[in-house]
């Protein structure tokens, strides 16, 4: 092969020229308890993963509805605020829709908080309600979701939004691209042995029923054998998330050396 042919081979050799499916993990957690983690990941980790994906013909773009809600609460114009409040009755249905659209990718962060739920809910209230205004916001969410493709939510109506999302993503479906990050401090959680997680100074007060529910949810995740990571600070969380999703990127979009045939 002459020198010109060698130059052509070198010029035509390139990495990963085939466009790939975008990676869009759904971000799941309680609404107010993980703002610091969400901001840290969005600012420091996700851009790195997206840059890596860009070099391979795709992109990394997590879907974080909680973060969007928090921003909207602060910036929504007064004339649109009422419309935003009306959308709250569809929050469960919309979240489950996005869980489905992001499947098989899912990121979940859990701490001590479980989220709002209906401890004394009775399914018979739906049959008596003549319109949504007679229902509380959580009940409206259950009603709208049940009527729009998710009737199973009425089987366990006292779950939080977070547990409904986890159920849809990980218990009603299966995927190898789902990761759960449990927040702790100096020791790992020992859910199955009955030991309690250390209190977090930044966390909201948690009542006994909420402690029981979040403990059962974590035990259920552990029992199913889902990928679980424990972290004690933002730096450790960032390293774990980057490592896990780098693996996903490498698995789905491996770098390949493609050389055109030279006659």
Q: What is the pLDDT of residue 21?
A: 77
Give the whole-angstrom CA distance, residue 202 versus residue 198: 12
Residues comprising the chain, all counted = 263
> In a 3-state reduction of DSSP, which class is residue 107?
strand
The answer to pTM > 0.85 is no
The domain ranges of the chain are: 3-117+159-258
29-39 pLDDT, tens per residue? 997 789 999 99
The two tokens of residue 11 are: 């010029």
Q: Which residues contact 149 (CB under 8 A, 6 or more apart)?
A: 93, 96
Q: Is 125 exposed, middle or buried (0-12, 13-18, 19+ CB in 10 A)?
A: middle
Judged against a pLDDT cut of 50, whether residue 16 lies above it is answered with: no
Per residue in 47-86, pLDDT tens?
999 999 999 899 999 999 875 554 544 444 544 444 444 5
Within 10 angstroms of residue 73's Cβ, the number of other Cβ atoms is 10
Give the model confidence (pLDDT) of 119-135 as tens digits.
765 554 565 556 677 77
Domain 3-117+159-258 has CATH 3.40.720: no
Contact assessment for residue 197 and residue 184, using Cβ atoms and an 8 Å cutoff: yes
Count Cα neighbours of 204 within 13 Å in the Cβ-side half-sphere: 12
Q: Report how many helices (DSSP H) and strands (DSSP E) the chain contains, helices first.
A: 11, 6
Instruction: Judge whether 162 and 171 are in contact, CB under 8 Å.
Output: no
- Residue 13, both tokens: 């050799």
pLDDT bucket at 172, cuts 50 / 70 / 90: very high
């Amino acid at each position: 092969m002459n020198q010109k042919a060698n130059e052509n081979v070198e010029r035509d050799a390139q990495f990963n020229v085939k466009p790939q499916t975008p990676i869009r993990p759904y971000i799941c957690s309680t609404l107010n308890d993980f703002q610091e983690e969400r901001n840290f990941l969005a600012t420091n980790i996700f851009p790195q993963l997206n840059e890596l994906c860009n070099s391979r013909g795709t992109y990394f773009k997590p879907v974080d509805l909680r973060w969007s809600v928090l921003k909207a609460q602060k910036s929504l114009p007064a004339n649109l605020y009422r419309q935003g409040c009306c959308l709250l009755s569809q929050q469960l249905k919309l979240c489950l829709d996005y869980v489905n659209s992001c499947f098989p990718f899912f990121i979940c962060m859990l701490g001590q908080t479980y989220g709002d739920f209906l401890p004394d809910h009775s399914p018979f209230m739906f049959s008596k309600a003549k319109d949504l205004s007679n229902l509380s916001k959580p009940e409206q969410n259950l009603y709208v979701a049940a009527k729009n493709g998710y009737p199973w939510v009425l089987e366990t109506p006292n779950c939080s939004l977070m547990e409904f999302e986890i159920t849809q993503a990980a218990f009603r479906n299966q995927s190898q691209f789902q990761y759960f990050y449990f927040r702790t401090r100096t020791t790992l959680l020992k859910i199955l042995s009955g030991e309690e997680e250390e209190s977090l100074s930044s966390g909201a007060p948690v009542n006994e029923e909420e402690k029981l529910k979040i403990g059962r949810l974590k035990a259920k995740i552990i029992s199913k054998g889902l990928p679980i990571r424990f972290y004690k600070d933002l730096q450790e969380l960032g390293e774990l998330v980057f490592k896990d999703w780098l693996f996903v990127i490498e698995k789905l979009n491996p770098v390949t050396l493609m050389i055109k045939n030279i006659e």
